[in-house]
Amino acid sequence: MKAMLLKKTAEIGSRPLSFDEIEIPRPGYGEVLIKVKACGVCRSNLQVIEGERGTPPKLPLVPGHEVVGVVSELGAGVSSLAVGDRVGAQPQFSVDNTCEYCISGRENLCINSKRLGWSIDGGYAEYMIGYANHLHKIPGNISDIDAAPLFCPGATAYGAVKNAEPFPGKKIAVFGIGGVGHLAIEFAKIAGARVTAVSRNALHTELAERVGADRTIISSEEDPADAISEDGGVDSSIVFAPSDEAVSQAIRSTKKGGIVVIGVDCNIKDFRFMNGQVIKSTVVGTRNDINRVLELASQGLVKVFAKEYKLKDANEALQLLKNNKVEGRIVLTT
């Protein structure tokens, strides 16, 4: 099969992914072989490829962790799926089901999870192994390209909005309107919140308007914290912009006693404990979260904005992502 293979971490500008031919893997117990149809491109893929998260435990490695495909072969012990089923895979290949996090319903924090595109070969390939218990059947009215991003940015955005505790009329600001942020706006609107979208450029604020944001602010033209505070501040902020400055702006935009949900690595400053704010983080989502995301998408309540690139063009797609030239999400197709 053809796959985009990472042999050594390096800057994406050096084209570290090679379009190689490798053996089609065979499914083990509890696993299935998936014929990949689409795989979303995530900023964390870029971080893995460039070594920002350290050296992956598996090299060579096939990146990619938000995958849609068709089951082409069953491993032993699999009865929940059949050959021909269209399924989606999320970043967690599997969890241990025994740690304190799994037992308490927080499997997305499992300390022994295996992850696609990190310790397990992912979806930048024509075929991939999936663990049957962590695959989701996809409703027929969601296309492959629209479905793939639901398994990482969709689940992450849904979890972030849930952590922001939305309700009708609540004011929520979303900082960073990319592949995750535009979906967070949609989930917040479904909950009845009034949403302010903040981004550094008009490309992304225009996307925010299309998905229902009530107000947009271009942070390169005005200080969003000042603008939002003049309007009384927001009850909750959600940050997907990979910027310490954006986190600081979100904190300053949020009312006393409000919630700041952070979905990026950052250093927190300008936090005043006397304001009584609560800081939370968001990490992908549980299988239950993903089921709810798929349900909302199948009802036509969530629209993914995605652009298709061919698998062999993954280096170029990731360079666009690094340069903040992507509106919505990039999806690779085979």
Q: What does the alpha-carbon distance between residue 141 and residue 14 come to, in Å, rounded to a whole number?
A: 39
Instruction: Clarify whether residues 158 and 109 are in a common domain.
Output: no
Task: Count structural domains, the chain.
Answer: 2
pLDDT in tens, 238-285: 999 989 999 999 999 999 999 999 999 899 987 889 999 999 998 888
Whether the upstream peptide bond of residue 60 has omega within 30° of 0, thus cis, is yes
Asked if the model's pLDDT at residue 327 lies above 90, the reply is no
Examine the fold and report which residue of 240, 257, 281 is the final residue of a domain before the chain moves on: 281
Length of the chain: 334
User: pLDDT (tens digit, 9 = 90+) per residue, 175-233?
Assistant: 999 899 999 999 999 999 999 999 998 989 999 999 999 999 999 999 999 999 999 99
pLDDT of residue 324 exceeding 90, the answer is no
Q: Are 147 and 161 part of one and the same domain?
A: no
Phi, psi of 267 (to 5 degrees): -110, 125
At residue 21, the pLDDT reads 97
Output the domain CATH number for residue 187.
Answer: 3.40.50.720
Structure tokens that stand for 132 in this block: 């049957």
- Inter-axis angle of helices 181-190 and 153-163, nearest 10: 50
User: If you average pLDDT over every residue of the chain, what do you get?
Assistant: 95
- Say if residues 223 and 270 touch (Cβ distance below 8 Å): no
Are both 70 and 85 inside the same structural domain? yes
Query: DSSP code of 255?
Result: E
Domain identity same for 184 and 242: yes
Single out the residue in 243, 264, 281 at which a domain terminates. 281
SS3 154: helix
C-alpha span between 30 and 74 (Å, rounded): 8
Query: Does one domain contain both 225 and 299?
Result: no
Q: Please tell me whether residues 106 and 204 are part of one structural domain.
A: no
Identify whether the C-beta of residue 182 lies closer than 8 Å to the C-beta of residue 174. Answer: no
Give the separation between CA 317 and CA 301, rounded to whole angstroms.
Answer: 28
Q: Rounded distance, CA 82 to CA 71, Å? A: 7
Same-domain status, 84 and 122: yes
Q: What pLDDT shows up at residue 269?
A: 85
Helix (H, G, I), strand (E, B) or coil at 276: coil
Q: Are residues 33 and 121 in the same domain?
A: yes
Domain of 34 in residue numbering reads as 2-152+285-333
Q: Which of 281, 296, 323 is the last residue of a domain?
A: 281
199 contacts 223 by C-beta, under 8 angstroms = no
CATH code, domain with 51: 3.90.180.10
Give burial (CB, 10 Å; 0-12/13-18/19+) of 242. middle
Same domain membership, residue 232 and residue 122? no
| Judgement on whether residues 75 and 14 belong to the same structural domain of the protein | yes
Confidence (pLDDT) at 263: 93
Query: What per-residue confidence (pLDDT) applies to 169?
Result: 93
Domain identity same for 250 and 320: no
| pLDDT one-digit tens code per residue, 16-71 | 999 999 999 999 999 999 999 999 999 999 999 999 989 999 999 999 999 999 99
Token representation of residue 196: 């302010």
Dig out the tokens for 100 from the structure: 């304190």
Look up the pTM and report it.
0.93
**For residue 326, pLDDT beyond 90:** no
The reply to whether 179 and 122 lie within a common domain is: no
Count Cα atoms within 13 angstroms, Cβ side, for 316: 9
DSSP 73-122: EEPTT--S--TT-EEEE-SEEE--S-SHHHHTT-GGG-TT-EEBTTTB--
DSSP state of 147: H
